[in-house]
Amino acid sequence: FVVQHTLIKSWKLASSGSCTMGRLDGKVIVLSAAAQGIGRAAAVAFAKEGAQVTATDINGEKLKELDNIPGITTKVVDVTNKDQVVALAKEHDSIDVLFNVAGFVHHGSILDCEEVDWDFTMNVNVRSMYLMCRAFLPKMLEKKSGNIINMASVASSIKGVVNRCVYSTSKAAVIGLTKSIAADFIEKGIRCNCVCPGTVDTPSLRGRIQAQPNPEQAYKDFMARQKTGRMCSAEEVAHLCVYLASDESAYVTGTEHVIDGGWSL
């Protein structure tokens, strides 16, 4: 149903005369966390480049905002729920690109991180990617071609960041998962890369700033670590994702793509 729906939307776009050659023409892309931030910007950018996008998120209300964009089909999916992930994969006869975006930022050092925080973060940030990759990889192996992109961060094995203990641990695991999948399946036509942003101006980042005891100071602290004098935009990360999703990056696998305005220099 999902695939048919996106095909109809693509046909409508083509027949409206507004279709030009795109960098992702004909590619079927499934992504998580598409309701806001980087995931949303990526879903829009993928569709603009001609992909048939299944945009998923746990937040159905916000996800609806993407419903009228040609090339995008939305579906409410909790990526920590195995049954929902397996059902999502079943709905796709074929997939070209899987983009695992969902992630949660816990604020604090190891001493601030209770077991429940640890388990929640590892579940959303790592186990979800394990579930999604396990569900979609067999479909990629069937046609000996597939491309997985995972959302990591420079706050990981790349850079030690204050008050990002379990978050950085989880994102280091994402880098490990990425390299492992790339190594295991390179000869089967599968590639797998990850994206490592620095500070990206997204609704959740704004929320984290507001949640601090002194939001004004928290904003200043975030800005003080921006060597370029500004934060990254979600659209800038989406540009990198379009490259990784396209055949332009066909020789690229097992790599972490840092986009941090020099923060990790």
Is residue 130 annotated as a catalytic residue, yes or no?
A: no
Region near ligand NAD per CB under 6 A, out of 29-37, 137-145, 156-164, 209-217: 29-37
- How far apart CA 8 and CA 52 sit, in angstroms, is 10
When binding is defined by CB under 6 A, the residue of 203, 217, 220, 248 that contacts ligand NAD is: 203
Q: Is 160 left (phi over 0), alpha (psi -120 to 50) or beta?
A: beta
- How far apart CA 252 and CA 259 sit, in angstroms, is 16
55 lines the binding site for ligand NAD (CB under 6 A): no
Residue nearest to ligand NAD (CB): 103
Active-site position among 130, 167, 219, 243:
167
Q: What would the two tokens of residue 188 be? A: 């089967």
Positions 169 through 188 that interact with ligand NAD (CB under 6 A): none
State which residue, 78 or 91, has the beta carbon closest to ligand NAD.
78
When binding is defined by CB under 6 A, the residue of 7, 11, 59, 93 that contacts ligand NAD is: 59
- How far apart CA 257 and CA 145 sit, in angstroms, is 21
Shortest Å, Cβ 11 to ligand NAD: 29
**Residues 220-248: b if buried by 16+ CB within 10 A, e if exposed:** eebeeebeeeebbebebbbebbbebbbee
Shortest Å, Cβ 59 to ligand NAD: 4
153 lines the binding site for ligand NAD (CB under 6 A): yes
Give one DSSP letter per residue of 145-198, joined into a string.
Answer: -EEEEEE--SBTTTB--TTBHHHHHHHHHHHHHHHHHHHHHGGGTEEEEEEEES
190 lines the binding site for ligand NAD (CB under 6 A): no
Tell me the one-letter amino acid at 257. Answer: H
Region near ligand NAD per CB under 6 A, out of 1-9, 11-19, 45-53, 99-107: 99-107
Residue 212 sits at the vertex; the CA angle it makes with 202 and 224, to the nearest 5 degrees, is: 65
Helix (H, G, I), strand (E, B) or coil at 242: helix
Contact 132, 85 (CB under 8 A): yes
Shortest Å, Cβ 235 to ligand NAD: 11
Positions 216 through 255 that interact with ligand NAD (CB under 6 A): 234
Q: Which of 151, 185, 182, 155 is nearest to 257 (CA)?
A: 151
151 lines the binding site for ligand NAD (CB under 6 A): yes
Positions 105 through 144 that interact with ligand NAD (CB under 6 A): 105, 124
Residues lying near ligand NAD in the complex (CB under 6 A): 32-33, 35-39, 57-59, 78-80, 101-103, 105, 124, 151, 153, 197, 199-200, 202-205, 234
Q: Which residues are catalytic?
A: 167
